[in-house]
């Protein structure tokens, strides 16, 4: 399977390509970090941060290297940064430039997950949402029930915008899988 066309589309801001890359490489990055951290929450946080950074910096990706190798290198750096933060507990501000880069990830076309979410009746949907981890429940609730923008969710959760986008992508994918498995 040729991944380069998806990478090129992602470089141009194609949301479908970002979603494909996230879906395609999530288990590899998450699994790698789970072995390293032996903690599901940390592994998930690192994977989210990894994809966030990768999508922000996708224009710098060098196709001479494997895409998964590049992602794993980013994940290792995120893990090291996380360990340093735990030691120093110093909060690092995200720059305006980084914030603007995260803002540029497209958010226009409804995905398959969006269609599944809107088609389900509310009571059943709420049962499915309860099966997600609490931080995924929260972003789904803020986005779809309180109809908050990504920026508003970012401010509410005090998280970088890019992390909110990746977390919401992942939450929608997991929710869609739960819905499909229950039908």
Domains of the chain, residue spans: 4-88, 108-182
CA dihedral 25, 26, 28, 32 (to 10 degrees): 140
Q: List the chain residues with pLDDT less than 70.
A: 1, 88-123, 183
Residue 171 CA to residue 129 CA, distance in Å, equals 9
Same fold, 4-88 and 108-182: no
Secondary structure element (H or E) that encloses residue 123, with its range: helix 122-129
For residues 58 and 7, the answer to whether their CB atoms sit within 8 Å is: yes
How far lies 54's CA from each of 59, 115, 118, 173, 175, in Å?
A: 9, 26, 29, 19, 24
How high is the pLDDT of residue 26?
92
Domain 108-182, CATH class in plain words: mainly alpha
Residue 29's pLDDT is 93
Domain 4-88 sits in CATH 2.60.40.3140: no
């Amino acid at each position: 399977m040729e991944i380069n066309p998806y990478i090129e589309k992602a470089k141009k801001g194609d949301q479908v390509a970002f979603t494909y890359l996230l879906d395609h490489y999530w288990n590899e990055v998450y699994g790698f970090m789970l072995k390293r951290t032996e903690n599901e929450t940390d592994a998930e946080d690192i994977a989210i941060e990894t994809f966030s950074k990768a999508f922000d910096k996708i224009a710098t990706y060098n196709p001479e290297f494997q895409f998964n190798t590049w992602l794993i290198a980013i994940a290792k750096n995120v893990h090291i940064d996380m360990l340093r933060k735990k030691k120093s507990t110093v909060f690092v501000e995200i720059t305006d430039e980084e914030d603007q880069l995260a803002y540029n990830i497209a958010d226009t076309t409804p995905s398959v997950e969006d269609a599944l979410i809107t088609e389900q009746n509310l009571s059943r949907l709420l049962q499915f949402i309860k099966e997600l981890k609490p931080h995924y429940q929260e972003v789904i609730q803020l986005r779809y029930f309180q109809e908050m923008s990504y920026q508003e969710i970012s401010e509410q959760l005090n998280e970088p915008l890019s992390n909110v986008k990746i977390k919401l992508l992942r939450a929608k994918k997991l929710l869609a899988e739960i819905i499909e498995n229950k039908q």
